[in-house]
Protein backbone atom coordinates (compact mmCIF):
# COMPACT_ATOMS: atom_id res chain seq x y z
CA UNK A 1 0.00 0.00 0.00
CA UNK A 2 2.86 2.39 0.83
CA UNK A 3 4.52 1.59 -2.47
CA UNK A 4 1.31 2.39 -4.38
CA UNK A 5 0.95 5.70 -2.53
CA UNK A 6 4.56 6.70 -3.27
CA UNK A 7 4.15 5.84 -6.96
CA UNK A 8 0.93 7.83 -7.09
CA UNK A 9 2.55 10.89 -5.49
CA UNK A 10 5.61 10.79 -7.76
CA UNK A 11 3.44 10.24 -10.82
CA UNK A 12 1.33 13.25 -9.95
CA UNK A 13 4.42 15.42 -9.43
CA UNK A 14 5.92 14.36 -12.74
CA UNK A 15 2.70 15.03 -14.65
CA UNK A 16 2.22 18.43 -13.02
CA UNK A 17 5.79 19.50 -13.87
CA UNK A 18 5.23 18.51 -17.51
CA UNK A 19 2.05 20.57 -17.62
CA UNK A 20 3.91 23.61 -16.30
CA UNK A 21 6.55 23.39 -19.03
CA UNK A 22 3.94 23.38 -21.78
CA UNK A 23 2.12 26.36 -20.32
CA UNK A 24 5.09 28.70 -19.87
CA UNK A 25 4.00 32.27 -19.28
CA UNK A 26 6.34 34.86 -20.78
CA UNK A 27 6.56 38.44 -19.49
CA UNK A 28 5.46 40.96 -22.12
CA UNK A 29 5.24 44.71 -22.25
CA UNK A 30 3.01 47.05 -24.24
CA UNK A 31 5.09 49.38 -26.42
CA UNK A 32 3.65 52.43 -28.13
CA UNK A 33 3.82 52.58 -31.91
CA UNK A 34 5.52 55.90 -32.66
CA UNK A 35 3.13 58.59 -31.35
CA UNK A 36 -0.09 56.73 -32.10
CA UNK A 37 -2.63 55.41 -29.58
CA UNK A 38 -1.73 51.84 -30.64
CA UNK A 39 0.57 49.46 -28.77
CA UNK A 40 2.49 46.29 -29.63
CA UNK A 41 2.81 43.35 -27.26
CA UNK A 42 6.51 42.49 -27.12
CA UNK A 43 8.85 40.51 -24.87
CA UNK A 44 10.31 42.59 -22.05
CA UNK A 45 13.93 43.73 -22.13
CA UNK A 46 13.97 46.29 -24.94
CA UNK A 47 17.15 48.35 -24.62
CA UNK A 48 16.61 50.66 -27.59
CA UNK A 49 13.47 52.03 -29.25
CA UNK A 50 14.13 54.24 -32.25
CA UNK A 51 11.93 55.63 -34.99
CA UNK A 52 13.06 56.48 -38.52
CA UNK A 53 10.57 58.51 -40.53
CA UNK A 54 10.33 58.88 -44.26
CA UNK A 55 7.90 60.77 -46.49
CA UNK A 56 5.05 58.24 -46.38
CA UNK A 57 5.55 56.54 -43.02
CA UNK A 58 8.08 55.24 -40.53
CA UNK A 59 10.14 52.30 -39.36
CA UNK A 60 10.38 51.59 -35.64
CA UNK A 61 13.20 49.41 -34.27
CA UNK A 62 13.08 47.65 -30.91
CA UNK A 63 16.49 46.21 -30.03
CA UNK A 64 17.20 43.80 -27.16
CA UNK A 65 20.43 43.34 -25.18
CA UNK A 66 21.08 39.98 -26.90
CA UNK A 67 20.87 41.78 -30.32
CA UNK A 68 17.53 40.25 -31.22
CA UNK A 69 15.13 42.84 -32.61
CA UNK A 70 11.64 43.68 -33.79
CA UNK A 71 11.10 46.14 -36.63
CA UNK A 72 7.75 47.53 -37.68
CA UNK A 73 6.81 49.46 -40.79
CA UNK A 74 3.82 51.71 -41.13
CA UNK A 75 3.45 53.45 -44.47
CA UNK A 76 3.69 52.98 -48.19
CA UNK A 77 6.39 52.66 -50.84
CA UNK A 78 8.72 50.74 -48.54
CA UNK A 79 9.55 47.10 -47.92
CA UNK A 80 10.15 45.12 -44.78
CA UNK A 81 11.95 41.94 -45.71
CA UNK A 82 12.54 39.01 -43.41
CA UNK A 83 16.27 38.59 -42.80
CA UNK A 84 17.92 35.52 -44.26
CA UNK A 85 20.24 33.51 -42.05
CA UNK A 86 21.94 30.18 -42.67
CA UNK A 87 22.39 29.49 -38.95
CA UNK A 88 19.63 27.09 -37.78
CA UNK A 89 19.92 28.54 -34.23
CA UNK A 90 18.92 32.05 -35.40
CA UNK A 91 15.27 32.71 -36.27
CA UNK A 92 13.07 35.36 -37.84
CA UNK A 93 9.39 35.80 -38.60
CA UNK A 94 7.30 38.24 -40.59
CA UNK A 95 3.62 39.13 -40.24
CA UNK A 96 1.13 41.95 -40.63
CA UNK A 97 -1.34 43.03 -37.94
CA UNK A 98 -3.85 45.85 -38.47
CA UNK A 99 -1.89 47.14 -41.49
CA UNK A 100 1.37 47.27 -39.52
CA UNK A 101 4.08 45.11 -41.06
CA UNK A 102 6.47 43.60 -38.54
CA UNK A 103 9.40 41.22 -38.32
CA UNK A 104 11.54 39.81 -35.60
CA UNK A 105 15.09 38.78 -36.35
CA UNK A 106 18.34 37.53 -34.88
CA UNK A 107 16.34 35.56 -32.28
CA UNK A 108 18.16 32.59 -30.80
CA UNK A 109 16.38 29.27 -30.38
CA UNK A 110 16.04 29.66 -26.60
CA UNK A 111 13.94 32.85 -27.09
CA UNK A 112 12.02 31.86 -30.24
CA UNK A 113 8.95 30.62 -28.36
CA UNK A 114 8.78 33.92 -26.46
CA UNK A 115 8.83 36.04 -29.65
CA UNK A 116 6.41 33.65 -31.39
CA UNK A 117 3.97 33.96 -28.48
CA UNK A 118 4.11 37.78 -28.67
CA UNK A 119 3.47 37.72 -32.42
CA UNK A 120 0.70 35.13 -32.03
CA UNK A 121 -1.03 37.29 -29.39
CA UNK A 122 -0.96 40.32 -31.70
CA UNK A 123 -2.21 38.23 -34.64
CA UNK A 124 -5.10 36.83 -32.56
CA UNK A 125 -6.07 40.00 -30.69
CA UNK A 126 -4.85 42.80 -32.95
CA UNK A 127 -2.99 45.82 -31.68
CA UNK A 128 -3.91 47.32 -28.32
CA UNK A 129 -5.38 50.81 -28.23
CA UNK A 130 -4.99 53.00 -25.17
Measured CA to CA, the distance from residue 114 to residue 128 in angstroms comes to: 19
Q: Which tens digit of pLDDT belongs to each residue from 37-85?
A: 999 999 999 999 999 999 999 999 999 999 999 999 999 889 999 998 8
Sort 28 into a burial class: Cβ within 10 Å, 0-12 / 13-18 / 19+.
middle
Q: Where are the domains of the chain?
A: 27-129
pTM value? 0.81
The closest alpha carbon to 100, from 65, 69, 70, 130, belongs to 70
Tell me the DSSP string of 69-83: EEEEEEESS---PPP
Q: Which tens digit of pLDDT belongs to each residue from 78-127?
A: 999 999 889 999 999 999 999 999 999 999 999 999 999 999 999 999 99
Amino acid sequence: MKRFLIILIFGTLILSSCALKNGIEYPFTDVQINQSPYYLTLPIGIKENKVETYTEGFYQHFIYSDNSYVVILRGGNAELNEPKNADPEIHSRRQTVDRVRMIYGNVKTDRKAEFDKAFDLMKENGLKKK
